[in-house]
Amino acid sequence: MANDDQFKKVISHAKEYGYVFQSSEIYDGLSAVYDYAQNGVELKKNIRDYWWKSMVQMHDNIVGLDASIFMHPTTWKASGHVDAFSDPLIDNKDSKKRYRADVLVEDYCAKIETKIEKEVKKAAKRFGDAFNKDEFLSTNPRVVGYQEKINSILKRLGQSLEKEDLADVKALIEELGIACPVAGSKNWTDVKQFNLMFGTKLGASADTAIDLYLRPETAQGIFVNFLNVQKTGRMKIPFGIAQTGKAFRNEIVARQFIFRMREFEQMEMQYFIKPGTQLKWFEYWKEERLKWHKSLGLGEENYRFHDHEKLAHYADAATDIEFRFPFGFKELEGIHSRTDFDLKQHEEFSGKKLQYFDHEDNASYTPYVLETSIGLDRMFLAVFSNALVEEELDNNTTRTVLKLPAVLAPNKAAILPLVKKDGLPEIAKQIVEDLKWDFNVTYDEKDAVGRRYRRQDANGTPFCITVDHDTLEDQSVTIRHRDTMEQKRVKIEDLKDIIKAEVDVKHWLKKMK
């Protein structure tokens, strides 16, 4: 299936099976704002819990926080967001469409990358088992040429953005001959900076109301609470503060479904460390976060690191964990060495000391910060798009399956009476009653059992449990596994343990070790 088609399928499946709806759909929707429906809200919650468990519960030196969305407006002066939280935008004069200039260039590079992937596929076919991908990538002249071209374009883009040389960003777009994807024209305006924060007002009367921002990241709520948490929790460096919550950005290009939203949720952890140790911790958290992703089994080949050429004003090292979305490799999570920039800025703007007294060194210092920041909605899209597959079956039919990691699936099991009579629904409902203390389970009696299996496959439910006439005699049921379609006869009393073995967080998170 072409990638575009796959992505369209992902979006329509998310709607049809109650995962994601466009916000205010009856009013024709609101651009880049989405609602999570009955299944989506469970999947999202399970991803959030999986992250929270691995961060907070599994680390005795990381604690949680839930800071408000509204913050004192000086916060955003101090953090640099008022002056510097902007994206370079460019308009096409013919289509009147607006784009992020850096994204136009990156998309151009992604196209060259697709050419590399095609060459790799061709060569893999030609050389068969003898194919060595790394060697091919580093020696094939055409591929090396493509890669050099990508590197030099991205380097120039990074440098121009770093120097705020927006004229050169436009020159680069023109030199590469990038055309508007809608109009096909190369009639571009100059590149301008555009601040991404949403403003609002606090207070009832027009004279006294103060200007506020909706937070564009959750991190600042952690920085301003750093000393409160450190003192009340008697935390010793190194220690972390983790938080999940909404963030808001007035994105210029809001396409690609829940990949880029104007209201979204972040899961961030700020790790407070001794100055000078930041590179060690940077490497540590890079590896740790990649292990977390891999523990979910979405395919190791679908991740890669992308080190930043252009560092944000607060960072001395930064990398993205990129994931292979249906539209190519894109940022899923950022890992940033933020130095002491934020704490120092808040010290300066608030006039309050934000230092840590190190008993071992008998000295005070402003800690450095290592940040891991992942978008919950992006993670949702990664999991969901990776899970949706169309499978050819032996009898020449196909089935649509949502192979969600069982630990994240909204419903862990569907309990199905074979027929709606002879006491089978009563037994099935009793099984639901017993299991619902431990798992989210659902009851389904409508349609033939084969159709119900298909429905649950498409819903992502890892197990179907069928109650039939033999159950009346032997207190056993048939348990069917979503991915293998294997069916087994098991005792009703064993169901809980069988399901638990596959959906338990411990079983999955242990893979990180």
Question: 414 near 431, Cβ under 8 Å?
Answer: no
Scored b (16 or more CB within 10 A) or e, 199-217 reads eeeeeeeeeeeeebbbbbb
State the minimum distance, in angstroms, from the CB of residue 281 to ligand ATP.
Answer: 17
Please tell me whether residue 81 binds ligand ATP under the rule CB under 6 A: no
Please tell me whether residue 62 binds ligand ATP under the rule CB under 6 A: no
Determine which helix (DSSP H) or strand (DSSP E) holds 335, and give its type and residue range: strand 328-339
SS3 sequence of 164-220: CCHHHHHHHHHHCCCCCCCCCCCCECCCEEEECCCEEEECCCCCCCEEEEECCCCHH
Please tell me whether residue 373 binds ligand ATP under the rule CB under 6 A: yes
Please tell me whether residue 289 binds ligand ATP under the rule CB under 6 A: no
Residue 377, marked binder: yes
d(CA 379, CA 238): 27
Please tell me whether residue 378 binds ligand ATP under the rule CB under 6 A: yes
Helix, strand or coil for residue 334? strand
State the minimum distance, in angstroms, from the CB of residue 261 to ligand ATP.
Answer: 4
Residue 331, marked binder: yes
Please tell me whether residue 107 binds ligand ATP under the rule CB under 6 A: no
Residue 260, marked binder: yes
Total site size for ligand ATP, rule CB under 6 A:
16
CA R_g for the chain: 26
d(CA 354, CA 420): 66
Please tell me whether residue 322 binds ligand ATP under the rule CB under 6 A: no
Please tell me whether residue 245 binds ligand ATP under the rule CB under 6 A: no
Residue 332, marked binder: yes
Residue 392, marked binder: no
Binding part of the chain for ligand ATP, among 71-79, 327-335, 386-394, 402-410 by CB under 6 A, reads: 327-335
Q: Which is nearer to ligand ATP, 251 or 347 (CB)?
A: 251
Of 332, 335, 406, 409, the one binding ligand ATP (CB under 6 A) is 332
d(CA 274, CA 341): 14
C-alpha distance across the termini of the chain, in Å: 36
State the minimum distance, in angstroms, from the CB of residue 314 to ligand ATP.
Answer: 11
SS3 sequence of 42-79: HHHHHHHHHHHHHHHHCCCCEEECCCCCECCCHHHHHC
Q: Which is nearer to ligand ATP, 329 or 365 (CB)?
A: 329
Residue 174, marked binder: no
Residue ranges for the known binding site are 100, 217, 249-251, 259-268, 331-332, 371-378
Q: Which residues bind ligand ATP (CB under 6 A)?
A: 217, 249, 251, 260-261, 264, 266, 331-334, 373-375, 377-378
